[in-house]
């Protein structure tokens, strides 16, 4: 699925894991791909990720869900980017069972999380960063968990 993106845009892409060594390997793989060219899609996580994915899991997901539009933080609704429970399984669909509706998330006042996630600005360009918004007292979602963009920027920049 990443190959489509790399074919359409001049970017390189590396699938990587979460351990320090795996992240470093992913960065190295990206740098090599950018410097020397070649396949823009790299897999630096081969102990878990295979080219064909997990066929059994993919088959089960396809049986239970169908593609649908989905809301994404900072991006809004993207056509066909999500999954919805198929009619045959609607008895297990919480939206149907409990009559749920999910509204588009609204960021707290002044929070630029959506722009940070889109790469439009850096966390430090948010006026709340490091003063009103810190990991111990976060304002927006990007500062909440340690892997959030703003939290990582705060801890490691």
Give residues in contact with ligand SF4 (CB under 6 A). Answer: 111-113, 116, 123, 126, 128-129, 133, 139-140, 142-143, 150
- Which is closer to ligand SF4, CB of 41 or CB of 111? 111
Shortest distance (Å) from residue 105 CB to ligand SF4: 12
- Which is closer to ligand SF4, CB of 25 or CB of 133? 133
Shortest distance (Å) from residue 75 CB to ligand SF4: 15
Shortest distance (Å) from residue 111 CB to ligand SF4: 3
Contact predicate 142/117, CB 8 Å: yes
Distances (CA, A) of 49 to 18, 42, 72, 114, 156: 13, 11, 24, 29, 28
What residue has token string 């060594």?
21
Query: Is 93 in a helix, a strand, or coil?
Result: coil
13 strand-pairing partners: 41
- Which is closer to ligand SF4, CB of 44 or CB of 128? 128
């Amino acid at each position: 699925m990443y190959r489509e993106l790399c074919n359409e845009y001049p970017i390189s892409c590396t699938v990587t894991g979460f351990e320090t060594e795996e992240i470093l390997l992913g960065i190295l793989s990206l740098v090599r791909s950018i410097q020397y060219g070649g396949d823009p899609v790299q897999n630096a996580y081969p102990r878990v990720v295979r080219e064909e994915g997990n066929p059994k899991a993919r088959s089960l997901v396809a049986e239970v869900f169908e593609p649908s539009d989905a809301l994404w933080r900072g991006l809004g609704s993207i056509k066909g980017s999500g999954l919805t429970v198929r009619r045959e399984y609607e008895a297990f669909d919480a939206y149907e069972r409990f009559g749920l509706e999910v509204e588009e998330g609204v960021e707290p006042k002044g929070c630029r999380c959506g722009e940070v996630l889109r790469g439009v600005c850096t966390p430090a360009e948010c006026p709340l960063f490091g003063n009103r918004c810190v990991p111990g007292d976060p304002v927006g979602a990007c500062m909440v968990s340690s892997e959030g963009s703003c939290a990582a920027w705060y801890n490691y920049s």
